[in-house]
Amino acid sequence: RKEVEQDPGPFNVPEGATVAFNCTYSNSASQSFFWYRQDCRKEPKLLMSVYSSGNEDGRFTAQLNRASQYISLLIRDSKLSDSATYLCVVTHLQGGADGLTFGKGTHLIIQP
């Protein structure tokens, strides 16, 4: 049973384009949602939290759809520096050993 699923890609996108990808989760008790960014051979770092009302941070917009159990990330005016792997992270009310669940990531390549 896969709790958090992402399209692994790679998504090859020309610079300046808009790209979006989703992450689906199976546990309806999931409480908090995040997008993390991981550069090659580096640690994951928080990109943004995902709130029920949706949130925007510059060129990045994250949305949550609880009814359909997915979160999305939209990147506008993509830059070469946006090339990375984007991890979806879901936390559960129960906490415990699986309190944080990671998707396997979506690989994004921005091409000049």
Partner 1 sequence: NAGVTQTPKFQVLKTGQSMTLQCAQDMNHNSMYWYRQDPGMGLRLIYYSASEGTTDKGEVPNGYNVSRLNKREFSLRLESAAPSQTSVYFCASSENPGWFGTEAFFGQGTRLTVV
Q: Are 19 and 75 in contact (CB under 8 A)?
A: yes
**Is residue 86 classed exposed, middle or buried when 0-12, 13-18 and 19+ CB atoms within 10 A define those classes?**
buried
Site residues (CB under 8 A) for partner 1, limited to 2-41: 8, 31-32, 34, 41
Q: How many residues bind partner 1 (CB under 8 A)?
A: 27
97: which DSSP letter?
A: T
Residue 17: CB minimum distance to partner 1, A: 26
Distance between alpha carbon 64 and the CA centroid of its chain, in Å? Answer: 11
Does residue 91 touch partner 1 according to CB under 8 A?
A: yes
Residue 1: CB minimum distance to partner 1, A: 12
List contacts with partner 1 (CB under 8 A): 8, 31-32, 34, 41-46, 49, 87, 89, 91-100, 102-105
